[in-house]
Amino acid sequence: MTALRCRHRHGRIAALALLACMTALPGARAADSVTAGPGPGPGPGPGQGIQPLRFNDDFSYLADPRRSDDFWDTLKWIPLGDGARLNLGGEVRERYQYYKNPVFGLTGVGTESFVLSRLLAHADLRFENGLRAFLQFGEHEAPNLQARTTTDVDRLDVQQAFLDFTTAGDYGKFTLRLGRHEMSYGVQRILSARETPNLRRSFDGGRVDWAWPGVQVAVFAGRPVNNKFGPFNDSLNPIQSLWGSYATVANVLPGTSADFYYFGFRNTAGTYAGKTGTDLRHSVGARLFGKHEPWDWDVEAVLQAGHFRNEEVRAFLLASYVGYTLADVPWRPRLSLQVDVASGDGNPNDKTNNTYNPIFPTGSYFTQAQINAPSNVMSLFPRVQVQPVESLLLTAGVDLLWRYSRTDAFYRQPFAAVAGTAASRGKYLGTQSTVQADWTVDRHLSITTAYVRFEVGGTFDTVRGRDTDYFGAWFQYKF
């Protein structure tokens, strides 16, 4: 344990030193250009500033020094001459998690508590001719976690490193990207950058983006990064590959936009019902989303076809949520209902596999506890949200869960069948209750706490599963 703490400390020191090197020297140089204006301005406009995918950060407003109003602005628009400019940034996240009866007590662990530490630092260099280089390093630790995985720990490594070339004209704007980068589409039901676990998900590959007023299209291909514990040793995942396209069209209906997409996924070590083999999936989906006060909505459907070993794949996902905001009531209550139906296998002995594979979904698809995956499940999840002040969002909800098929298992995150549950005749999985508080302190700092209780249903009788409790608290600082 002493050696572990020592390695953890040394890794954090190295990462902090790297962050200091990336931020210290250019700051003074940028300060002259930013403070040359008459005074502070209004700051970022809508869609500008820090974004969930950091390569989408937009600090172009700082070309006008009068709009600078933040301490970190000296690092966000650093002129280098000949039209080149540099943006430096980073992130610190410390996340505490506690589980009582993790995996429903089936692993023999009664309680578990640990801290997940994330430190990211990036440099974004752009030229007037459309060339761009983006580099991000990450340091991820979990020193007191008993069973560590590569989504928890990865000492100092390259999180993202890619080159862009962008050209624009009457035909719209094209961007070619090559290298290691994150991807996230829609509400992350099928492809997510994986924010909830400690390590965010990256891919090695390429993509082409085309943007036209009201239309955005992306075509991509690559392999997920195979994260490893040691420093600078991440590599291509040798067994998984992903390719596809994603299009977003604005205002296909009044107040409603649409996504249309195709994902191809190949996993040479896929596992279902105790069998392992190549899983080739083609996922075709569509999503409608929009807002018309006081209503908001998001509806998505996915069909999957392909082959697993010698079985034909036929699976689907139907997912939706609808919300209603009482804007004239104190605290602006929002009532919402999330409904999900993900298919499961009806007969493990036939030549058809009906289990929906979510591929690369968000870890918090249902709750922050990351207990259940959207596979072989029917979910009815009402929630209520209130805002006592603009910066504080309080959420409470109760998720009622059933298996779609009694002959298929319960799947936990990210996509793993819980042994013995496929043999159970009980269809009701359980009741998952959650409360959460999200405090946005300012544009840099956010603080979140969440409690989840999963009360098991009849599905877990045969394996003697126990109720699970989860508590999490974390802060995240981005600059």
**Average pLDDT of the residues of the chain:** 92
Domain boundaries, position 152? 87-478
Question: pLDDT (tens digit, 9 = 90+) per residue, 133-154?
Answer: 999 999 999 988 888 888 999 9
- Residue 102: inside a domain: yes
Q: Is the pLDDT of residue 15 over 80?
A: no
Percent of the chain topping pLDDT 90:
86
Q: Which structure tokens are listed for 355? A: 């289990």
Question: pLDDT (tens digit, 9 = 90+) per residue, 362-399?
Answer: 999 999 999 999 999 999 999 999 999 999 999 999 99
Residue from 447, 427, 424 nearest 436 by CA: 447
- Residue 128: inside a domain: yes
Average pLDDT over residues 260-266: 98
Whether 175 and 209 have beta carbons less than 8 Å apart is answered as yes
- The owner of tokens 């997510």 is 192
Whether 466 and 456 have beta carbons less than 8 Å apart is answered as yes
- CATH number, domain with residue 184: 2.40.160.100
- Residue 39: inside a domain: no
With cut-offs at 50, 70 and 90, classify the pLDDT of residue 4: very low
**Number of H-type helices and E-type strands within the chain:** 1, 23
Beta strands in 39-83 (DSSP E): 78-81
- Residue 33: inside a domain: no
Q: Which residues contact 334 (CB under 8 A, 6 or more apart)?
A: 323, 324, 325, 326, 384, 385, 386
- Residue 70: inside a domain: no
Residue from 93, 98, 283 nearest 200 by CA: 93
Average pLDDT over residues 330-352: 96
Average pLDDT over residues 119-144: 96
Residue 440, exposed/middle/buried by CB under 10 A (0-12, 13-18, 19+)? middle
- Residue 364: inside a domain: yes
Percent of the chain topping pLDDT 70:
91
With cut-offs at 50, 70 and 90, classify the pLDDT of residue 2: very low
pLDDT score recorded for residue 144: 86
pLDDT score recorded for residue 41: 57
Rounded distance between C-alpha atoms, residue 11 and residue 434, angstroms: 35
pLDDT score recorded for residue 383: 98
- Residue 69: inside a domain: no
- Residue 28: inside a domain: no
Please list the alpha-helical segments (H only) found in 170-327: none
pLDDT score recorded for residue 274: 83
Question: pLDDT (tens digit, 9 = 90+) per residue, 54-101?
Answer: 999 999 999 999 999 999 999 999 999 998 999 999 999 999 999 999
Q: If you write DSSP's letter for every residue of 171-196 in order, what string do you get?
A: TEEEEEEEEEE----TTSSSB----S
- pTM, two decimals, is 0.90
Average pLDDT over residues 427-432: 98
Number of domains, the chain: 1
With cut-offs at 50, 70 and 90, classify the pLDDT of residue 18: very low
Give the other-Cβ count within 10 Å of 110's Cβ: 11
pLDDT score recorded for residue 12: 55
Angle at 34 between CA 31 and CA 40, to 5 degrees: 120
Question: pLDDT (tens digit, 9 = 90+) per residue, 169-209?
Answer: 999 999 999 999 999 999 999 999 999 999 999 999 999 99
pLDDT score recorded for residue 13: 47
Average pLDDT over residues 438-453: 98
The partner residues of 225 in beta bridges, in order of sequence, read 236
